[in-house]
Amino acid sequence: MKTHCLRFIVLTALGCLATAIQAADKKIVLVAGKISHGPGDHEFRAGSLLLQHCLNQLPGIHAVVYSNGWPTRMEGGKTVDDNSAFDGASAVLIYADGGGGHPAIQADHMKVIDGLAAKKVGLGFAHYGVEVPKGDPGEAMHRWVGGYYEHQFSVNPMWEPDDQVFPKHPVSRGVKPFKVLDEWYFNMRWVPAGKGVTPILTATPSEQVRGGPYVYPKGPYEHIVKASGRPETMMWVCDREDGGRGFGFTGGHRHVNWGNDNFRKVVLNGLMWIAGAEVPEGGIPSTLQTDALKQNLDPKGKK
């Protein structure tokens, strides 16, 4: 009798353990945009593959990359959207050109992403991917991540924010002060009262940075100059009203910056957090091979 009870307990425990492991499995979909800009800039595919490599070293994490924009498949000799790529996803990151050509606002893609959000799938947008036109796309970004880059309201100078102080949040775990030159956007168009939004990377631009030139349009903008001395947000996270999570990260113009451990860590932490996975106290560890930043670059010629 005791033997049968012990066997039942052991099998039950093993079953619970298997269930726990399965429940901990997280699929993270990385959507890399089409070829853009010159060599070493907007290397969406190479950057996404680098993040995939780092994520897939973690137990229970399965990251997949779709290159050249929204996932597609061949059907009847034609290329069609493949929304099944998001089946079972815990999180989706779009690292791509934005504006009117943003992958998230083409065809019925906003509806697709709203459907993912309704399932509490984490949503992330990086660099140009945080910019959409105001109106319905801007309102969608407010739902998904709490803020977005609005043309001629937000700005995109090349500068080196001095990120020294971080909030107590899982996404900032293990991130140490760092400073890299990038096209760091700021002055996002936030959801009213910043509801649900927590700044992660903040710094105070100098008057020279505020006064331009910006990358495009060159500016300066009066409302940006007048805000002298105000700290600005370059990365934020959002606890959504639907119960899901999101983030916006404005860096990622220069591919070389993925070689900075803290730049890389804060994004990896963000991806784990929006996927609902635990971020350890020291943050997500990752190392790169010596030539990692030279791999998978788009065919743009030499810089």
For the purposes of burial, counting CB atoms within 10 Å of the CB of 197, is it exposed (0-12), middle (13-18) or buried (19 or more)? buried
Complete DSSP assignment for 197-241: EEEEEEE---HHHHTS--SSS----HHHHHTTT--EEEEEEEE-T
| Rounded Cα gap, residues 79 and 23, in angstroms | 34
pLDDT > 70? residue 43: yes
Q: Give per-residue pLDDT as tens, 72-116.
A: 999 999 999 999 999 999 999 999 999 999 999 999 999 999 999
Peptide linkage before 220 cis (omega within 30 of 0): yes
Average pLDDT over residues 6-32: 55
pLDDT > 90 fraction of the chain, expressed in percent and rounded: 89
Whole-model pTM: value is 0.91
For the purposes of burial, counting CB atoms within 10 Å of the CB of 297, is it exposed (0-12), middle (13-18) or buried (19 or more)? middle
In whole angstroms, how far apart are CA 36 and each of 216, 251, 254?
Answer: 15, 15, 12
Where do the DSSP E strands lie in the chain? 26-32, 61-66, 72-75, 78-81, 91-95, 122-126, 147-148, 158-159, 182-183, 189-190, 197-203, 232-239, 245-249
Region for 170 from its dihedrals, namely left if φ exceeds 0, alpha if ψ lies in -120 to 50, beta otherwise: alpha
Q: Would you say domain 26-294 falls under CATH 3.40.50.880?
A: yes
Token pair recorded at residue 267: 């994004």
Axis crossing angle, helix 109-118 with helix 136-145, rounded to the nearest 10: 20
Q: What is the mean pLDDT of the chain?
A: 92
Average pLDDT over residues 173-186: 97
Half-sphere exposure in the Cβ direction for 51 (13 Å, CA) = 34
pLDDT > 50? residue 6: no
Average pLDDT over residues 211-223: 97
Average pLDDT over residues 178-187: 98
The H or E element that residue 136 is part of is: helix 136-145
Token pair recorded at residue 156: 């995109």
**What's the start-to-end Cα distance of the chain, in Å?**
75
pLDDT > 60? residue 183: yes
Average pLDDT over residues 174-202: 97
- Per-domain boundaries in the chain: 26-294
